[in-house]
Chain A
Amino acid sequence: MAIDTSAWSRRRLLKTSAALGAGLATPHFFVRNAWSQDQAFCNNPTGGNVVLGFNVPQSGPYADEGADELRAFQLAVQHLNGEGDGGLVKTLQPSSLKGNGILGKKVAFVTGDTQTKSDAARASAKRMIEADKAIMISGGSSSGVAVAVQSLCQDMGVMFMAGLTHSNDTTGKDKRRYGFRHFFNAYMSGQALGPVLAEEYGKDRKAYHLTADYTWGWTQEESIKNATEALGWETVEAVRTPLGAGDFSQYLTPVLNSGADVLILNHYGGDMVNSLRQAVTQFDMKSKQVGGKQFEIVVPLFSELMAQGAGEAVKGILGTANWDWKLDNEPSKILAKSFGEAYGSPPSQAAQTCYVQTLLYANAAEKAGTFYPPELIKALEDFEFDGMGNGPTLYRGSDHQCFKDVLVVRGKENPTNQFDLMEIVKIVPRDQVTYDASIFGGDLGPYEVKGCAA
């Protein structure tokens, strides 16, 4: 069969290129339309409602945290609108909140699933901004996602109030002017946990790290390594495990023969539940002796939700936490009561940070008297407040990181009920975990961005 290859005559070529040219010119017509909708800033609320976007993982290894965050967001919206018992709206000091929405507008919200994937999270955030006209995005539960969404929010000119994200990068090398984090970070965990580890386990220990292979795991591993090596510990090996691995036995098998006598699990959420359970039940590590020393397991970032998932395995395990519902202060009790009455369980630390972030955003808007992000950002920068359950807290202007006390916690040996799985070992004061913002580098970027209004 002969193959005719001279299908493109000169005439056809001319015709096609003319059509192509016309096609390429088309967007310019539409673009002019798109630019004509002049707004001072992205998603300036015009009606009686203001829309907040809550972007949380509803599937994947952090789904439990995501579900609890969503509950907290809903509670915060109710409290801001003056429904329910008002929660921490009444205890925030200094407060500009009025309990009638934000700047007189009723608070509405939209939700989305990040799937713990950067791509999906950005698509979901874009939908909230472009389709639902959300003026603020909150949520997280994975630092990879938080970093990705934060930079998107900077580009689009929408505020990002990070939920649970613990990586140093979120307010370090990847910090953004439009992003704020209330949660503590891996560096603070290291600083708080180090001295306690030395006290409990001695200064002559060999550590084996299993690390979730993404931004949070990396910075967590680095921070804990630095803190423990400063005490005189030795790091035998640091192994990276994929996020959401499910089965960690292949990574746990070499641990006991490596000469290490401490296992540090830089895992969180479902990953930590799985790896800790396997280490304790399948490999029976807690009852082993290495070189005459009791083998120990440390989980630097700990939470009540994970303790529930891991069950018996958490007993005696040391870690750090941002907040715990059992803290002995008035705001914590109020929040625990309000949340408990609404959902039948006390709030997790993820829930608390999301609740507080929503209130702080609303407060900043009231304080600034506008939704215009640059003004709102200035209201949040270097804002010193109290009454949210963490004691006196500073939102540092140079990196948008909150500084407050950090808790060192331990899995309880004899829990009285299913929500009482952790005991607070030590409250490390804010001064001891404060660091110089310049150590992580990064650049916040401009206040004024063209954003989605452009």
Chain B
Amino acid sequence: MSESVMTRDKNMSKGMGRSPAESHAPKGEGLRGFMSSSRSDYLLLAIFALAILTMPIWLAPIGAGYPDILQKFAIFGIFALGFNILFGFSGYLSFGHAAFLGTGSYAAVWMFKLLSMNALIALIFAIAVAGVFALLIGYVSLRRSGIYFSILTLAFAQMSYNLAYSVLTPITNGETGLQVSGSDPRILDHMFGSPSGRGTPDFFGMELQGWPGFYFCAILLILAFFLTMRIRNSTFGLMLFAIKSNQNRMNYTGFATRPYLLAAFVISGMYAGLAGGLLAVTDPLAGADRMQWTASGEVVLMTILGGVGTLLGPVIGAAVMKYLEQIFSSFNEGFLHRAFDFLPSGLQDFMVTIVSPFVGEGWHLTLGLMFMLVVIFLPGGIMEGLRRVSGRFKGDRGAADTAAHAGH
């Protein structure tokens, strides 16, 4: 590896919220610092939890205060958090994470069909199945690194998609998607004499649709966030960051890096399985679309948009992306005319003509532009933007400087 690459990699790790001085600190004290979360971490967790749980209130003015989209924010937040453990922490870019999302969904729906409508059983099974699946794919893919690893994961995901779409139709019901029906066996439900007639997943009697569904997802997101924080602050997290900054040096010093990578891969696969299971819990249907390469690409976009390697970034990126997909895609010309109502009619028509390619079915264009702008001007994602803004406010040159170095 050339010297320039190594320096750049070092700079990258600098932006990951960990100062180099910290990692060179004396062993005893420094390590303890990593093992236990600091007070500021708990403060962050508390603020995060509060922000997530009050989303229905503060997101209502921008038209996102309804259960379905907030459920999606939380679920894809979990997905992106997990993806970030692999990509953000260890630098391994997987292009096939949607395979685990889809596997989780199918596993959960099968649990609904076979055992019980209880969400807990379905989620545990979803996480387990996705974990095993990730172990298999990771074991093979992690024999390579860099672009070869990415291509391998992409190939596996696309293979899973095609299997789900046509070959495994008896298990996945192909394009139509797997659904629950009244005639499913649901052994446990029948055993305890509570067959849920409506086919709605529940959490010990609480039906997980609408708002209860959102709070269920939100709490799991907060737990997932907490776990990610713990992982980041653990020795295991440190190993991953070390692999990202220089895997060769790790190998030379006698560390077997692959077990760490495989563990990271499986953990992030389990996060994806949890997200996929939650998708099935809030809407008991699993389709092959969830495994398509576009879905894998989406989570990469979410993570980069929000900020690779940061804790909050992926969650923010996921929300922004889902917001664009759900809300921007629903703006039609009638809506635009109402939005530009305050302008004189000529100017109003002009504005509608200008804006309409970017909304409705053109939301992909907006997403693409936004992604380009972020990658060019804010390589550290939205999180870097936030840091720069806060740095500006504090008048602290140093903070802005660190931010400018974050990620390339």
Contact = CB atoms under 8 A, between A and B. Distances in A.
B215 interface: yes
B53 A31 contact: no
Contact-residue bracket for chain B = 35 or more
Interface string A27-41: 110110110000000
Contact of B283 (A24, A34, A59, A152): A152
B176 A147 contact: yes
Contact of A27 (B68, B219, B361): B219
B198 A449 contact: yes
Nearest to A122: B283
B213 to A, nearest CB: 9
A7 B219 contact: no
B290 interface: yes
Nearest to A25: B219
Contacts of B63: 131
A117 B283 contact: no
A423 to B, nearest CB: 33
Main secondary structure of the interface of B (DSSP, over half): helix
Nearest to B32: A4
B223 A23 contact: yes
Central interface residue in B27, B211, B279, by most chain A CB within 10 Å: B211
Interface string B220-235: 0011000000000011
Main secondary structure of the interface of A (DSSP, over half): helix
B259 interface: no
A33 B56 CA distance: 12
A197 interface: no
B176 A127 contact: no
Contacts of A214: 174-176
Contacts of A242: 165-166
A46 to B, nearest CB: 17
Nearest to B213: A27
A16 to B, nearest CB: 9
B287 A112 contact: no
Contact of B287 (A1, A113, A119, A450): A119
Interface string B276-290: 000100010101011
Given A4-B35, A58-B360, A213 B198 contact: no
B216 interface: yes
A127 B330 contact: yes
A119 B289 contact: yes
Given A126-B67, A155-B198, 7 more contacts: A1-B235, A30-B211, A31-B211, A113-B330, A155-B200, A214-B175, A452-B210
Interface of B: 27, 31-32, 35-36, 49, 53, 63, 65-69, 72, 165-166, 174-177, 179, 182, 198-200, 206, 209-212, 215-216, 219, 222-223, 234-235, 279, 283, 285, 287, 289-290, 326-327, 329-330, 332, 360-361
Interface of A: 1-4, 7, 20, 23-24, 26-28, 30-31, 33-34, 58-59, 63, 110-113, 117-120, 122-124, 126-127, 130-131, 144, 147-148, 151-152, 155, 169, 213-215, 240, 242-243, 443, 445, 449-450, 452
